[in-house]
DNA sequence: TCTTATTGACTAACTAGTCAGTCATTAATG
DNA sequence: CATTAATGACTGACTAGTTAGTCAATAAGA
């Protein structure tokens, strides 16, 4: 491995190690020496690439947020012609970006955890990801309701209900990792069916 | 204020202060001196009542959990004779214990936050509160389905979907306190209607 | 040889936990 | 009732340990 190659890879390796350590212990309880050890460097090296602990943390969290934000664009093309299709697309998107892998999981934990120290991180996440999606979903639901394709239910004004199952699944996994694994697709299909048809019998 | 009266009130005052500081900064980033200052004592006094920082934290969290656990008993008497009544009772209970006040809110944040350092706390919360409730809800849903009062939907095997809205509301408030306030009752009624009737039009 | 990534020993600051001492209150004594 | 002794809640200065951040020295590649 040449020195140049190492230099190109170091920042990523350090971010990876930082993710593991920060998501295990949170910002304050994580030692830079531990991150360094996990990345197979020493603390000094970290300071070559990141000016301090806070910058390292923020960079790491932003790294987690990037792929999420990129996908929002695609969703904006959605047309409200079929209730199930719209709902399925949104829920797929939400599950994929909230409850899909450990990185999503830990992103939420970190945002919750450090919202006091890094308030602008959750604010960014809101303006770049959550809010645009909610607004688009609101539009679609309104349009579907106007066309008579869905009921004019009180839930229509609370779009967060649609993302509820994915968020709750995430929290469940974070809080109770010892409880059995839940299949993400099954969870989503169940939620979708519940939202479309409700529990009361249909004739 | 006599010395004896002070002695009776100190532990509670310290717990109160500990709640404020810990929920603001988490375990590691909270200074005992700050807790002491908030409780209008000095650090030494804290050690008169609590043997160390971890014990103080655990005592404080358990204090938050007690009222929640006490209420579970009442729910166990529920009979599955009416779908809406059952669902409303459960959701009322869940919203009341998950999203009602700041203490519920912060309890969840703290459990999420410190699940690595204090795993037995979330485990306790699970066995004493979450799991009993889920089992009871499962029973009720099964019975309602057997009686034909609700559809045999896939959601029936995923009882966490029912608590989803309350959990999601909680997360929403923790993550995005800057977003406008959401009325808890309205939220619950919307969720209830969504769960019972679904979005698709009914004839 | 020269450049540059990396090291690791160092410091400066911070904080959990300790403990000898203070002082207001209460109880005992004359 | 007045004085003294005992109590125990509380203090705050101190120690010991930890960790973010620095920088002169080193080693490895070009």
- CATH architecture of structural domain A1-50: Orthogonal Bundle (1.10)
State the average pLDDT over residues A111-134: 92
Report, as an integer, the average pLDDT of A101-108: 92
Q: If you measure CA to C1', which residue is closest to nucleotide D9?
A: B3
Q: What is the pLDDT of residue A1?
A: 41
Residue with tokens 């990037």: A66
Residue A134, pLDDT > 70, answer yes
Lowest-pLDDT range of A165-174, B59-68, B173-182: B59-68
pLDDT of residue B188: 97
Give the tens place of pLDDT for each residue, A9-28: 788 999 999 999 999 999 99
Highest average pLDDT, of A154-158, A195-199, B7-11, comes from A195-199
pLDDT over 70, % of chain B: 95
Does residue B55 carry a pLDDT above 70?
Answer: yes
Give the pLDDT confidence score for residue A5 in this predicted structure: 53
CA-to-CA separations, B36 to A65, A182, B175, B194, in angstroms, rounded:
38, 43, 28, 47
Q: Are A83 and A150 in contact (CB under 8 A)?
A: yes
pLDDT bracket for residue A6 (50, 70, 90): low
Domain boundaries, chain B: 1-50, 63-197
The pLDDT, as a whole number, for residue A118 is 94
Residues A42-77 pLDDT 10s: 999 999 999 999 999 999 999 999 877 667 777 888
Instruction: Provide the pLDDT confidence category of residue B4 given band limits of 50, 70 and 90.
Output: low
Contacts 24+ apart (CB under 8 A), B35-42: B39/B10, B39/B13, B39/B14, B40/B13, B41/B10, B41/B13, B41/B14
Distances (CA, A) of A162 to A14, A47, A71, B202: 36, 43, 18, 20
Distance from CA of A189 to the nearest CA of B (A): 8
Q: Residue B1: pLDDT above 50?
A: no
Q: What is the mean pLDDT of the segment spanning A157-167?
A: 95
To the nearest whole percent, how much of chain A has pLDDT over 90? Answer: 82
Mean pLDDT along residues B148-174: 95
pLDDT at A71: 75
Asked if the domains at A1-50 and A63-197 fall in one CATH topology, the answer is no
Q: A-B interface: how many C-beta pairs under 8 angstroms?
A: 205
Q: Is the pLDDT of residue B88 over 70?
A: yes
Count of C-beta atoms within a 10 Å radius of residue A76: 11
A115 CB neighbours in chain B (<8 A) are 174-175, 177
Residues in Cβ contact with A91 at an 8 Å cutoff, skipping those fewer than 6 apart: A162, A165, A166, A188, A191, A192
The answer, yes or no, to whether residue B70 has pLDDT greater than 90, is no
With CA of B47 and C1' of each nucleotide, the nearest comes out as C17
As a CATH number, domain A63-197 is 1.10.357.10
pLDDT of B69 strictly over 50: yes
Mean pLDDT score, B129-135: 92
Give the best residue of B31, B61, B164 to mutate against chain A (max A CB count within 10 A). Answer: B164
Residue A153 to residue B193, Cβ atoms within 8 A:
yes
CA of A140 to C1' of C15 (A): 54
**For range B102-127, the mean pLDDT:** 93
pLDDT of B5 strictly over 70:
no
User: What does pLDDT average to over chain B?
Assistant: 91
């Amino acid at each position: 491995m040449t020195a140049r190659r190492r230099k190109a890879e170091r920042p990523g390796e350090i971010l990876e190690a930082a993710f593991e350590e920060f998501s295990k212990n949170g910002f304050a309880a994580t030692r830079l020496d531990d991150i360094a050890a996990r990345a197979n460097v020493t603390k000094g090296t970290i300071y070559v690439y990141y000016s301090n602990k806070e910058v390292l943390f923020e960079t790491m969290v932003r790294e987690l947020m990037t792929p999420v934000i990129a996908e929002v664009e695609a969703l904006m093309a959605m047309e409200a012609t079929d209730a199930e299709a719209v709902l399925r697309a949104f829920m797929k998107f939400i599950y994929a970006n909230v409850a899909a892998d450990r990185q999503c999981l830990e992103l939420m934990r970190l945002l919750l955890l450090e919202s006091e120290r890094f308030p602008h991180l959750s604010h960014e996440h809101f303006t770049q990801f959550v809010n645009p999606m909610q607004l688009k979903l609101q539009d679609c639901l309104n349009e579907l309701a106007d066309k008579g394709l869905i009921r004019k239910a009180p839930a229509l004004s609370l779009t967060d209900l649609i993302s509820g199952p994915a968020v709750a699944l995430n929290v469940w996994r974070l809080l109770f990792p010892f409880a059995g694994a839940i299949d993400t697709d099954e969870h989503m299909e169940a939620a979708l069916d519940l939202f479309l048809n409700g529990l009361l019998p249909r004739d």
